[in-house]
């Protein structure tokens, strides 16, 4: 792959971020960036909770962080050549916290800065289920970033199956994918689908292939070049294992 090919393959998240810097694309691009932030806010919230913030403090700081991210000049010097969006976002958060803690007049509730719809109650329930371990805020951020990408890959695959009118098949087989609470028995899944065990194994194999491709596509959208995709996948698998 030559340099031009690599440039063309840089990728939706960075494209959204870069477009948001352009004045003539301001409204549309900022709306797209707001949607992106709505997708990736929970790892931020989890980092803040693990860093010692109470739920209200974590909610306020998450909102304030994204307010600064969207409305200030924080995007001016950003570049895909900087690498992974995950790393960029975490570094931005840490810099924000340093500045925030130095500001006696920091914005808080009622400051008119709520721009990201946060489902804080469900987030706090999710946070309460985090393993009781000594994982640092950075480790927890990476773990939740990985789960966010897994969940989005699942949604992409589910949408693919839905477009093919295979919703029932997907629901019967999703337990065989990562993140499932408990996989059904092969016999039960085959019975639910009305197919043989051999056909079931083929269907599971195809579903896992599509999930792997969707996960790779999702990871590719968060890095600065195609060369970073496989190392990032390996890193995130390690983060999930942690």
Domain that holds residue 228: 134-242
Number of domains comprising the chain: 2
Residue 239 has pLDDT above 80, yes or no: yes
From 47, 45, 236, select the one nearest 135 (Cα to Cα).
47
Q: Do 146 and 84 share a structural domain?
A: no
Q: Tell me, what's the pLDDT at 4? A: 35
Q: Do 159 and 53 share a structural domain?
A: no
Residue-averaged pLDDT of the chain: 80
Q: Do 140 and 123 share a structural domain?
A: no
Residues 153-162: what's their mean pLDDT? 94
Q: Do 148 and 118 share a structural domain?
A: no
User: To the nearest 5 percent, what fractions of the chain are helix, strand and coil?
Assistant: 70, 0, 30
- Classify 10 as helix, strand or coil: coil
Q: Do 12 and 125 share a structural domain?
A: yes
Q: Do 66 and 163 share a structural domain?
A: no
Q: Do 117 and 21 share a structural domain?
A: yes
Q: Tell me, what's the pLDDT at 106? A: 44
Q: Do 126 and 138 share a structural domain?
A: no
Q: Is the pTM of this model over 0.95?
A: no
Q: Do 111 and 82 share a structural domain?
A: yes
Residue 154 has pLDDT above 60, yes or no: yes
Last residue within a domain, chosen from 70, 100, 130? 130
Q: Do 46 and 13 share a structural domain?
A: yes
Per the structure block, which two tokens stand in for 111? 């400051």
Q: Please return the burial class of 215, using the count of CB atoms within 10 Å of its CB with bins 0-12, 13-18 and 19+.
A: buried
In tens, the pLDDT along 21-80 reads 666 656 666 676 777 777 888 999 999 999 999 998 998 898 888 887 766 556 666 666
Last residue within a domain, chosen from 102, 130, 158? 130
Question: Are the C-beta atoms of residues 21 and 14 closer than 8 Å to each other?
Answer: no
Last residue within a domain, chosen from 115, 130, 145? 130
Q: Do 147 and 40 share a structural domain?
A: no
Q: Do 205 and 108 share a structural domain?
A: no
Q: Tell me, what's the pLDDT at 45? A: 93
104 or 205, which is more confident: 205
């Amino acid at each position: 792959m030559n340099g031009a090919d690599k440039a063309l393959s840089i990728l939706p998240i960075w494209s959204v971020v870069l477009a948001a810097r352009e004045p003539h694309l301001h409204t549309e691009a900022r709306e797209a960036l707001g949607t992106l932030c709505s997708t990736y806010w929970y790892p931020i919230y989890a980092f803040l909770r693990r860093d010692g913030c109470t739920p209200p403090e974590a909610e306020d700081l998450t909102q304030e962080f994204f307010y600064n991210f969207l409305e200030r000049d924080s995007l001016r010097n950003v570049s895909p050549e900087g690498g992974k969006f995950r790393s960029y976002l975490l570094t931005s958060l840490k810099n924000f916290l340093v500045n925030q803690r130095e500001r006696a007049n920091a914005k808080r509730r009622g400051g008119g800065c709520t721009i990201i719809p946060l489902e804080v109650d469900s987030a706090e329930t999710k946070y309460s289920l985090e393993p009781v371990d000594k994982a640092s805020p950075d480790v927890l951020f990476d773990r939740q970033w990985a789960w966010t990408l897994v969940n989005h890959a699942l949604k992409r695959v589910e949408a693919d199956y839905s477009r093919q009118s295979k919703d029932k098949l997907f629901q019967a087989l999703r337990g065989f994918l990562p993140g499932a609470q408990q996989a059904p028995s092969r016999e039960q899944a085959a019975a639910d689908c009305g197919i043989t065990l051999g056909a079931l194994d083929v269907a599971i194999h195809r579903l896992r292939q599509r999930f792997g491709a969707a996960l790779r596509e999702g990871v590719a959208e968060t890095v600065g070049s195609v060369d970073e995709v496989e190392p990032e996948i390996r890193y995130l698998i390690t983060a999930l294992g942690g």
